[in-house]
Amino acid sequence: MAQQRAERADAVRNRRAVLHATERLLAEGGGEHVSLDRVAALAGVGKGTVFRRFGNRAGLLQALLEERSRELRDAITNGPPPLGPGAPVRERLLAFLDGLGAIAEDNAVLLSAHEQACAEDKYDDPSYQFWHRHLSVLFAEARPDLDADFLAHAVLAVFDGNLIRHMTPPDDPRRFTRSIQQMATALLDRGDHQAVIPQPIPEQDR
Amino acid sequence: MAQQRAERADAVRNRRAVLHATERLLAEGGGEHVSLDRVAALAGVGKGTVFRRFGNRAGLLQALLEERSRELRDAITNGPPPLGPGAPVRERLLAFLDGLGAIAEDNAVLLSAHEQACAEDKYDDPSYQFWHRHLSVLFAEARPDLDADFLAHAVLAVFDGNLIRHMTPPDDPRRFTRSIQQMATALLDRGDHQAVIPQPIPEQDR
DNA sequence: GCATATCCGGACTGACAGTCCGCCTCAGTG
DNA sequence: CACTGAGGCGGACTGTCAGTCCGGATATGC
């Protein structure tokens, strides 16, 4: 039922080659220069093969993204706390943002290219829906007074490849993750006391 | 100095015609179908004219967006409170989000098309920088303990045409604005009830 | 009127996503 | 091994689009 017949050996080989070629092109040139012609050429396969495997440009990039995030997905579903079930909401949320932030920082170019290719249907992508549901549940639990569904979308909207590249200085590759964790923390804190430790910081002008 | 010579009358007429044609195409078809060929044809001008006026696709859409938001920009800089200077931070932020939210809700398709066309250089766009600076100043004042620069980017990241279309039900066109106001409010509230002295707001520099 | 700086139109180029179909190869069978 | 056909393969082909270019038209100042 899962598969009537195993995938043919050459098909498997080609799928790997295409993904690998895509990685290489993304790594060397800017994400815009990754045309499917070039991917096919570098992978040593025909263009038709790329489309048969991945459907379209968005599908190819999505497959790559999925590969990079499968581990995190599994850890959230089945792994030990704080990523997996069982930890307090706050710890779980921070662990999740740490994981997703790392992936995003490491793959900002891929992320940009994917956003570019996806256009509308980004929100139907199963990966997106997984992250959204996870965040949504956490927010709903911690802040039933807010619109958790919206907050989940809002947090994910910040995982924008271009934005990440724009705000990540070379000497501080994890600035993005720290900042979004700080923002999420601020969102979790209700009007009542606790945490955050307000730093004096008199004021900042720019 | 402002202009060595006034713009020629036909040039002005054509610019209007092109912008108007773009509006019409955006309004009837989905944003993706607004090719510059079509815009030129509908406007009754040559393609070259469109490019001479607006530089490229992104420039055209940006011009349209700027037209739709000029009023809000002016109100923030020179208008009366709560949009303009003088109101407490919280009121000013909510008024701003109300205004920008309305524009975004009314122009979600245009917004999507612009994001698609802009790609990287969205963050260099003067309009974007204006909104960002405004938000950044407000956040810095209300929450000196947080990363105001990041928060401003994060809030603007949520103004995504596709996201807005995705989450706006036909019977509640202002859901987006309400939700983002709620989120911003949550971000302003410090964890403790430490008095946030409502300062008379000196003004913003630059 | 006349001169010329400016603008106009649309043919042209190059690049790309996605399709199609005849050929080839793998893998299962006897 | 030889056979066979389902499925995979390649790359030519199509349609579309952004952006360029230049000969010709025209508004404007004198």
Instruction: Report domain extents, chain B.
Output: 7-55, 67-188
Integer Cα distance of B62 and B114 in angstroms: 7
CB-CB neighbors (< 8 A) of B189 in chain A: 189-191
Q: Which two tokens stand for residue A112?
A: 């940009």
Q: Give residue-wise pLDDT tens across range A56-70.
A: 999 999 999 999 999
Choose among A119, A196, A201: nearest Cβ to B162.
A119
User: For domain A7-55, is the CATH number 1.10.10.60?
Assistant: yes
Distance from the A7 Cα atom to the nearest Cα atom in chain B, whole angstroms: 36
Largest CA distance in chain B: 62
- Indicate the pLDDT class of residue A4, thresholds 50, 70 and 90: low
The secondary structure of residue B7, as a DSSP letter, is P
pLDDT at B105 over 50: yes
Residue-level pLDDT at A196: 43
* Chain-chain contact of B146 with A182 (C-beta, under 8 angstroms): yes
Residue-level pLDDT at A193: 43
Q: What pTM did the predictor assign?
A: 0.89
Q: Which two tokens stand for residue B68?
A: 């739709």
Integer Cα distance of B109 and B33 in angstroms: 11
Q: Which two tokens stand for residue B101?
A: 């939210």
Residue-level pLDDT at B122: 92
Task: List bases, strand C, within 7 Å of protein CB.
Answer: 5-12, 15-21, 25-28
Q: Between the CA of B189 and the C1' of D7, what is the distance in angstroms?
A: 61
pLDDT at A2 over 90: no
Distance from the A132 Cα atom to the nearest Cα atom in chain B, whole angstroms: 13
Q: Which residue is nearest to nucleotide C27 (CA to C1')?
A: A8
Distance from the B202 Cα atom to the nearest Cα atom in chain A, whole angstroms: 13
Distances (CA, A) of B40 to B20, B111, B192: 11, 20, 57
Choose among B119, B136, B183: nearest Cβ to A116.
B119
Q: Between the CA of A10 and the C1' of D8, what is the distance in angstroms?
A: 8
Q: Between the CA of A11 and the C1' of D11, what is the distance in angstroms?
A: 18
Asked if A141 and A88 count as a contact pair (C-beta separation under 8 A), the reply is no
Nearest CA in chain B to A203: B144
Asked if A194 and B134 count as a contact pair (C-beta separation under 8 A), the reply is no
CB-CB neighbors (< 8 A) of B143 in chain A: 186
Q: Between the CA of B40 and the C1' of C11, what is the distance in angstroms?
A: 15
Q: Give residue-wise pLDDT tens across range A55-113.
A: 999 999 999 999 999 999 999 999 999 999 999 999 999 999 999 999 999 999 999 99
